[in-house]
Amino acid sequence: MNRRSFLRTASLSALAASLVPGAPVLASGLTPANAHLASRQPAPGTADYTLRIATGVLELAPEKFVSTTLYNGDFPGPLLRFQEGRPVTIDIFNDTGHDEQVNWHGQQLPASVDGADEERTPPVSAHGHKRETFTPTPSGLRMYHSLVRAGSDLSRGLYTGLAGPVFIEPQHDPGAYDREVFLTLKEFLPYFTRVDDDTPFMAPGGMELPLVTIAANSDPGAGQVPPGYELAYGAFAINGKSLGSGEPIRVKRGERILLHVVNASATENRSLALPGHGFKVVALDGNPVPRPVTVPVLWLGAAERVSAIVEMDHPGVWVLGDLADADRAGGMGIVVEYAGATGKPGWQAPPRFQWDYRLFADPSRKPERPDEVIDLLITARQSAAHGFDLYAINGVPYDWGSMPVTCKLKLGRRYRLRLRNASGDIHPLHFLRHTLELTRVHGFATAGVLKDVVLVPPFQTTEVDFTADQPGLAVFCCHMQQHMDFGFMALFETV
Ligand SMILES: [Cu+2]
């Protein structure tokens, strides 16, 4: 057995073991007694970055500390700046008692390092160390985060503070800005509720009645059981500080600030506005948009990123914050302070505005015809999984017992995913290791907007195209942790 197949087998048996309570099989193949020491032997050579996964205490505000799992003891994890096409080495230490996966969200990396159990990436084993080497691509704003099943355990996966920004320097940078500011949005102190507070922020554009009918037929018992658990949070923060507690963003009149915003939420869609200012959106999920447009509000589904230039032309002290009053009051904001300005930070609600991906598309372009169309029908059964809503793609909730391949793709072929959402939720759908081009939104054809997370509104069909240019396994899922954990996943394999 060569090293590679050993690793693969070992990681699979560890996965299998993790499904059987009490089975002490470790990914390293060592016994629990000696694994701790052996796995800590540092590999030779120096890594470009080191990430250490451990529980820690985060100070969100004076005298308000939360306990969670962090990278390098802080939130967000360190900003990792890579150069497109230049290999990097990352040392990852896992001081927790669970195997972890560091997912390189938005990059096109081999499944062996991408960071997902289903893709058979060897995990960073509990109390273990792993060294990863890869060649970052594509350029732009990416992120890294924990990608493990949490289920009902709110101390795991994206419910923790395990997230951080990645910026991959492009080979050519248009650079029409003075400086960059990275903002990572995150909630803390998660708990369950049965209140659904999804923000219906995208133009409804009409529900498709066939999808409503499918939803009703696929869950005839809905309404006769309590609603499934939803996530709520006790604290909100940008860059790990609740509004008013951290350092403000200090600016000068006339400056052009390039904001790189990462929504690192486990479950929430977020918004941001800055009174008296507009956001010129230049990239979505790190990919330059065909048509940069200035908007009064940014909207980001879970794991979405926006890069936008703000002209600092409205002096004062302002709150850059979420539109949801309760969340902003709970800390989802950061102060922007002009040089020489004083006083209490001001907030005012922005003008009414409907976020729509098509704003940033090239209106003259039509989508190219794909080689093949794949239908993915999304349904849900209320409270069907121990009180959680159970999701299915084409009638099948994903099975982590066997982690089957859902669909095979042919290398080089252009596919269209027709995402038919017959559930009442808006889902941030994510395809790992690939870039998706939006080709139909709210019933209209569109082209040119490239993303890796796409918000799919309820009872609508959204279409995205991609080229199967990444050999091997790739996860398709809802990026909301509790949807992902309760069935909402498929596994593609390109051969
Ligand atoms: Cu979802």
- Strand order of the β-sheet with 64-71 is 64-71, 49-61, 88-94, 129-134
pLDDT of residue 115: 98
Closest CA to 442 of 278, 206, 94, 142: 206
Residue that wins the pLDDT comparison between 196 and 122: 122
Whether the per-residue pLDDT at 36 is higher than 70: the answer is no
| Cα–Cα distance measured from residue 80 to residue 493, given in angstroms and rounded to the nearest whole number | 29
- Structure token pair of residue 317: 């002290």
Q: Name the pLDDT band for 318 (thresholds 50, 70, 90).
A: very high
pLDDT one-digit tens code per residue, 72-110 = 999 999 999 999 999 999 999 999 999 999 999 999 999
What is the Å distance from ligand 1's center to 462 Cα? Answer: 14
Strands 333-338, 489-494: pairing kind = unpaired
Whether the per-residue pLDDT at 200 is higher than 90: the answer is no
What is the Å distance from ligand 1's center to 177 Cα? Answer: 35
Looking up tokens 């992120």 gives: 143
The answer to whether 463 touches 416, Cβ cutoff 8 Å, is: yes
Whether the per-residue pLDDT at 204 is higher than 60: the answer is no
Average pLDDT over residues 476-488: 98
Whether the per-residue pLDDT at 27 is higher than 80: the answer is no
What is the Å distance from ligand 1's center to 38 Cα? Answer: 40
What would you measure as the largest C-alpha separation in the chain, in angstroms?
A: 68
What is the Å distance from ligand 1's center to 478 Cα? Answer: 4
Whether the per-residue pLDDT at 202 is higher than 60: the answer is no
Strands 163-169, 80-83: pairing kind = parallel
Q: Name the pLDDT band for 170 (thresholds 50, 70, 90).
A: confident
Q: Name the pLDDT band for 20 (thresholds 50, 70, 90).
A: very low
- Across the chain, mean pLDDT equals 90
Whether the per-residue pLDDT at 34 is higher than 90: the answer is no
- Structure token pair of residue 350: 């922005």
Report the DSSP beta bridge partners of residue 390.
381
pLDDT one-digit tens code per residue, 386-422 = 999 999 999 999 999 999 999 999 999 999 999 999 9
What is the Å distance from ligand 1's center to 363 Cα? Answer: 29
Whether the per-residue pLDDT at 30 is higher than 50: the answer is no
Instruction: State how far Cα 66 lies from the chain centre.
Output: 22
What is the Å distance from ligand 1's center to 167 Cα? Answer: 26
Element (H, E) at 336: strand 333-338
pLDDT of residue 195: 84
What is the Å distance from ligand 1's center to 141 Cα? Answer: 22
Helices (H), 209-294: 209-218
Percentage of residues in the chain having pLDDT higher than 70: 89
What is the Å distance from ligand 1's center to 427 Cα? Answer: 4
What is the Å distance from ligand 1's center to 283 Cα? Answer: 23
Element (H, E) at 114: helix 111-114
Instruction: State how far Cα 228 lies from the chain centre.
Output: 22
Whether the per-residue pLDDT at 203 is higher than 80: the answer is no
pLDDT of residue 37: 38
CA distances (Å), origin 451, targets 102, 274, 361, 406: 20, 25, 12, 22
The answer to whether 89 touches 131, Cβ cutoff 8 Å, is: yes
Q: Name the pLDDT band for 199 (thresholds 50, 70, 90).
A: low
Domains of the chain with bracketed CATH:
3-168 (2.60.40.420), 180-192+232-355 (2.60.40.420), 372-494 (2.60.40.420)
Q: Name the pLDDT band for 223 (thresholds 50, 70, 90).
A: confident
DSSP annotation string for 413-470 = -EEEEEEEE-SSS-EEEEETT--EEEEEETTEE----EESEEEE-TT-EEEEEEE--S
| Cα–Cα distance measured from residue 359 to residue 293, given in angstroms and rounded to the nearest whole number | 7
| Cα–Cα distance measured from residue 204 to residue 356, given in angstroms and rounded to the nearest whole number | 10
What is the Å distance from ligand 1's center to 487 Cα? Answer: 10
Q: Name the pLDDT band for 176 (thresholds 50, 70, 90).
A: confident
Q: Give Rg (Cα) of the chain.
A: 22
Residue that wins the pLDDT comparison between 196 and 39: 196
